[in-house]
Amino acid sequence: MPGNTTFFAKASQEKITWKDIFSNVFKKHTAEDAAQLFIAGTSLTTPHESRMIGEWRKPWLFARVGIVSLVFSIAMYILMVFFPAFALNFRIPFFFVAAIVLPLTIVLLLWELNIPRNIPIFKVIAIFLLGGVVNMAGTAFIRIVFAAQLGNQAYIVGPVPEDPTKVLAIFVCLLIIKPKFDYILNGLLIGATVGMGFEVFENLGYALNRGLDLHILIMRSMTAVGGHIPWAAMMGAGLAIAKGKSKLQAKHFVNIHFLKYFAIAFGLHVVWNHSFGDGFLTIPFTWMDLKSVILTIICWLILLHLIKKGVKECMRIPQTVSTPQSVQQPNAAGAVAVSAPPYAMSKSLTLRGIAGMYNGSVFPSPQGKLVIGRDARLANIVYPQNTPGVSSVHCEVRYENGMYVLIDKNSSNGTFLADGTRLTPGQPYPIARKNGFYLANRENMFEIE
């Protein structure tokens, strides 16, 4: 779990922010990093539940894809302007990329946030296509059959047929494509992908019905961030919460957890489509008025809440499953080493000193708790009274909620993770095996065996 310790410490208390989620976006990544993402989700590459936390990396690829797609769209637009005789040749690829760039970026973000890494990219594409078609066809059917009852009010003719058929599309995709659907993060991704299908197809339809209208396409694509994708994501996550680990049944569609998030999404859709507030304080170059901005912020606050719940759900999994052996590789002597899982599978705890006076020393604790400090009455690992930087009761490592956690006990000079992150006193930080920590300075360093 290199680099993610602080993230999961915050996640354990549902305190992660978008800044925490996006912190890897501007870091350097290689083509191999991207390849590792794209091969995820198969029977050979999906990590076991006991290793999914340790092997997951924070999202970054979505931003690269979004930027490249945006640059391509701008290039096509410039070519249309400077070569009007060939404008139609450039307009078709521009239309497709402009319609899909923002929806695709959002869905890739949620795909990378899918910590279980159990839905491959080819199934995401299949859900996009099938979900979009089912959603569009179901909406058209309801509008034709119940035309008189629906009337022509946008806040009725939009949400009433479109939102129930989003749920139908999610169900059809689960039935036919059979993606994994055991976690809240799975539900967020599947729902968002169905919403992406509807969003892209509808936006292209609006533009084509108006004679390849660029203004309509760009306007609707810009506002997609607060529309069908987050609404459908809420529905998918709500259904995942209602279902849990059980087999999907009819009763889950009337479960209060699903109905709550469906009602929220439906309500946001109604307000979005209502004429009240339309055009008030429109933001330049975005075609989004104040109402749209407020609704979009609400959408993403709800999605952040669901992401927090989803991450915390994943963090609870390792305590309930057995530890699989990782792929074994013989060393030069022919011995086979088995790597330890990142989280605890039992209450036993062993610390090893890796620097300073306790370098090489091993401290086992079958009770799953070790205190480090200078006070021999309270500490299990005792430093001499004159040791610089070490407090009487400096820190504690213990087994808690299925994982090992490190807690600074209000020490004067701090407890630090191996990467230099200083712990907040009194706050438990999840820590993986073989990840080091130190007291005050790197001369007092330990790791969990």
Which residue ranges make up each domain of the chain? 5-320, 349-448
DSSP structure class, residue 42 = S
**Contact yes or no for 250/220 (Cβ under 8 A):** no
Q: Which amino acid makes up residue 421?
A: T
Cα-to-chain-centroid distance, residue 16: 11
The sign of the CA dihedral 362, 366, 372, 375 is negative
Written as six digits, the tokens of 78 are: 């410039």
How many CB atoms within 10 Å of residue 294? 14
Written as six digits, the tokens of 365 are: 């604790």
Q: Can you give the pLDDT of all 449 residues of the chain as single tens digits?
A: 445 667 877 787 778 899 999 999 988 888 888 888 888 888 778 887 767 887 788 999 999 999 998 898 888 888 888 888 887 788 788 888 888 999 999 999 999 999 999 999 999 999 999 999 999 999 999 999 998 888 888 889 889 999 999 999 999 999 999 999 999 999 999 999 999 999 999 988 888 887 777 777 877 888 889 999 999 999 999 999 999 989 999 999 999 999 999 999 999 999 999 887 665 666 655 556 788 889 999 999 999 999 999 998 888 764 333 333 333 343 443 333 333 444 444 457 889 999 888 988 888 887 889 999 999 899 999 999 989 999 999 999 998 777 889 999 999 999 999 888 899 999 888 888 888 899 999 999 999 88
The residue with tokens 């507030």 is: 277
**Contact yes or no for 99/204 (Cβ under 8 A):** yes
**Contact yes or no for 351/381 (Cβ under 8 A):** yes
The SS3 call for residue 356 is helix
Written as six digits, the tokens of 298 are: 């609400």
Instruction: Determine whether 329 is exposed, middle or buried from the number of CB atoms within 10 Å of its CB (0-12, 13-18, 19+).
Output: exposed
Contact residues for 235 (Cβ-Cβ < 8 A; gap 6+): 163, 166, 167, 170, 191, 258, 261, 262, 265
CATH code reported for the domain at 349-448: 2.60.200.20
Contact residues for 121 (Cβ-Cβ < 8 A; gap 6+): 38, 40, 41, 111
Written as six digits, the tokens of 125 are: 């594409």
